[in-house]
Amino acid sequence: MAVNSRRLGFLAAALLLLPTCTRPTAVDDWQQVDRVIDGDTLVLADGRRVRLLGIDAPEMGFGDGISECYGPEATAFLLVLVEEAGWRLHLEYDEVQFDHYGRTLAYLWDGECRMLNEIILREGYAVFIPYSDALRWWQRLDRAGEEARLAQRGLWHPDACP
């Protein structure tokens, strides 16, 4: 009996070490990404524009416009995350699914159960929008943004935006 208890103990410990996914699995909405617009917006293969919920990345200057400080870096970072995900992301929606521009609002998850919105905030490529439509994960996103600010990562670094 002691051997079985020991095996169960090892099994329980091993299960605790397995990564857990906090992404909901009830809705399986995997989408192919066509291109990245800027640090918080991308376009899906079906033509929909998707705005990442709860974050605000510096804007890119298109045409004759001038990019905001850290805009090119934020765009490049989202592009890296999308490439790492193989250009396929899971979209999770909150209570409000569209913004006033008609863009789809979503949390984006990769195949490793990582929320891109959170990663972008934690690395300092965007700021958290406290009173946005990001209701489900607002505490998690707030913590990630605060972590970047306190660690002075990305756009929070004193030398990032003179």
Residues assigned a catalytic role: 51, 59, 103
From residue 99, how far is each of 103, 105, 133, 138 by CA, in Å?
Answer: 6, 7, 9, 17
The separation between the first and the last C-alpha atoms of the chain, rounded to the nearest angstrom, is 67
CA distances from 132 to 11, 21, 24, 126 (A): 42, 24, 21, 14
